[in-house]
Amino acid sequence: MDGTIRKNITVGSKVKVVQKHHQRSGELTEGIVAKLLTKSPNHPHGIKVMLEDGIVGRVKEIL
């Protein structure tokens, strides 16, 4: 599923995100969404979320 569309992501979804300092390498971190931080209905680089462990990143994959 597409991580650039907000309605595809809900609290509790299992996702892979890229953190700001990993954008160049593209390293993905897996986790459960705790909070949606992007307010707009879509974002070209991925919807920004906070995972349950406090990591903030943009969604690249919805699992």
pLDDT in tens, 3-61: 999 999 999 999 999 999 999 999 999 999 999 999 999 999 999 999 999 999 999 99
Give the predicted TM-score (pTM) of the model.
0.92
Which of these, 56, 43, 57, 53, lies nearest to 7 by C-alpha position? 43
b/e per residue 23-50 (b: at least 16 CB within 10 A): eeeeeeeebebeebebeeeebeebbbbb
The reported pLDDT for the residue numbered 59 is: 97
In a domain, 56, yes or no: yes
In a domain, 21, yes or no: yes
pLDDT band at 1, cuts 50/70/90? confident
Provide the domain count of the chain.
Answer: 1
Expressed as residue numbers, the domain containing 20 is 6-62
